[in-house]
Every structure is written in structure tokens, then in C-alpha cells.
Structure 1
Amino acid sequence: MLWLIRLVLLILILYLLYSSVKYIINPKRKLELAQEQKRFYFLDDQENVRKNFHITYKGVRFEGEKYLGATEKAFDVVSIFVWTKNVSSLKGLTREDFEYLQNEIKERYPNAKLDWKSPIHEFLQKSQQKND
């Protein structure tokens, strides 16, 4: 009976260690932590085109939807739509911030055409017209 209790305790301790390690290395937790700390973090599975990527930058969380298509040499991600669910969190972001995000996305997906959904799309068009 004593051996059985020891075995159960050992299994419980191993399970707790396993669970805590899984929690610590969880990428979604890292994304949420980066958002709280207002840092840049890019969460993406580049091998899986069907999975959206997530970016956090200056406390704002963006989501990007990837679309597969044909390029000159192979099939690759050819179109990306990016948006944020919390529009009010965009307060304080500038055109340079969006250019930084575009560069980070282009670095990972050089063949993709990047489109921003409303209201970011309108903001970038207005600031582009002012610069012209």
C-alpha cells in the first residue's frame, strides 16, 4: 500500500512538472505577456498557411490572415490581410509604426501583398495622400 501511495505521488509530481513546463513555453502566453509589456512579438506557424498569425506591438494585438497562391517559382503566401479586433487600442500609433509592422511581415513573407482592413487602411491612405 505504501508503494502505491509513493507511485501515485511520483506520478502527480511528474504531471505537475510537465504541466508547468508546457505553460511556460506556451506561445500564446508569450504573446499575451508581450502585449501586456507593450513589446513586439510575432506568433506564426509559417509551415501552416491555414493558421493566422498574431502580432503584438505597443500593446496592440494584430491578426493576419494568409492566402496561398502561385508565384513564379512555387506556391507561396501571396496575400495577407491584417486587422485588429480592438480599434480603440490603435490610439497613439503613427504611420512609422505601421511601416515597421509591414517590414516585419514582408521579412517573413516577401512575396505577399499586404492589405490592412478598416480603419487602418483608411488611415494609411490619408497619410499617404498628405505625403504626396
Structure 2
Amino acid sequence: MVWLIRLLLFALIIFLIYSIIKYILNPKRKLELAHEQKRYFFLDDQDNVRKNFLITYKGVLFEGEKYLGTTENAFEVISIFIWPHRVAALKGMVREDLQFIERKIVENYPNAKIDWKSPIKEFMEKSKKPETPFSEHN
């Protein structure tokens, strides 16, 4: 009977150690921690094209939807749509922040065309237009 209790206690300790390690290494937990600390974190399963990726940057959580298509040599992710989970969280973000996110996505998906959903789409399009200098009338 004593050996059975010791065996069960040993199994419980092993299970607790396993659970703690699994919790610490969980990518979702890392994403939530980075989101709370307003740091950059990219959570993606690149082997699963049907699964959306999540990016957190400066306290804003973005989700990206991947679309598979053909390139010259293979089937690759060729299109990505990105949107923020909460539009109100965008307050204070600037064009350079969004360009940083685009660069990080292109590092993982070099053949993908990135499209933002509203209101970021309008902001990025407005920022791409060259400004025309004021002309003086005499």
C-alpha cells in the first residue's frame, strides 16, 4: 500500500512539472504577455495556411488571414489581409509602426501582397500619395 501511494505521489509530481513546462512554453501565453507589455510578437503556424496569424505590437492586436495561390515555382501564400481586433487601440500608432508590421510579415511570407482592412487601408493609401507643393499665383 505504501508503494502505491509513493507511486501515485511520484506520478502527480511528474504531471505537475509537465503542466508547468507546457504552460511556460505555450505560444498563446507569450502572445498575451507581449500584448500586455506592448511589445512585438508574431504568432503563426506557417504549416497551416488555413489558420490565421496574430501579431501584437505596441498594445494593438492584429489578425492576418492568409490566402494560398501560385507563384512561378510553387503554391505559396500570395495574399494576406490584416485588421486590428479593436480599432480604438490604434490611437497613437503612426505609419512607421504599420510599415514595421508589414516588413515582419514579408520576412515570413515574401511572395504575399499585404492588404489592410478599414480604417488602416485608407490611412496607408492616403500616406502613399505624394504631396503636391503649393503653387503661388501672381
TM-score, L = length of structure 1: 0.95
Q: Identity over the aligned pairs, expressed in percent? A: 65
Residue in structure 1 matched with residue 27 of structure 2 by the alignment: 27
Segments ≥4 residues shifted beyond 6 Å: none
1:96 corresponds to which letter in structure 2? E
> What's the Cα RMSD here?
1.2
Shift of 1:106: 0.9
2:55 corresponds to which letter in structure 1? I
Residue in structure 2 matched with residue 126 of structure 1 by the alignment: 126
Residue in structure 2 matched with residue 86 of structure 1 by the alignment: 86
Aligned to 1:102, the other structure's residue is in SS state helix
Shift of 1:16: 0.5
2:67 corresponds to which letter in structure 1? Y
Greater C-alpha Rg:
2
Instruction: Pick closer, same or farther for the CA change 1:131–1:54 going to 2, 3 Å.
Output: farther
For residues 79 and 110 of structure 1, the distance between their equivalents in structure 2, rounded to whole angstroms, comes to 10
Shift of 1:131: 4.4
Unaligned runs of 5+ residues in structure 2 are: 133-138
Instruction: Pick closer, same or farther for the CA change 1:102–1:41 going to 2, 3 Å.
Output: same
1:107 corresponds to which letter in structure 2? E
Instruction: Pick closer, same or farther for the CA change 1:10–1:119 going to 2, 3 Å.
Output: same
For residues 93 and 35 of structure 2, the distance between their equivalents in structure 1, rounded to whole angstroms, comes to 15
Larger helix fraction of residues: 1
Aligned to 1:118, the other structure's residue is in SS state coil
1:16 counterpart = 2:16: yes
Note the 1:1-132 alignment, pairs <5 A: 1-129=1-129, 131=131
For residues 86 and 130 of structure 2, the distance between their equivalents in structure 1, rounded to whole angstroms, comes to 26
Shift of 1:130: 5.8
Aligned to 1:12, the other structure's residue is in SS state helix
For this pair of structures, how many residues does the alignment match? 132
Aligned to 1:64, the other structure's residue is in SS state strand
Unaligned runs of 5+ residues in structure 1 are: none
TM-score, L = length of structure 2: 0.91
Instruction: Pick closer, same or farther for the CA change 1:131–1:15 going to 2, 3 Å.
Output: farther
Aligned to 1:77, the other structure's residue is in SS state strand
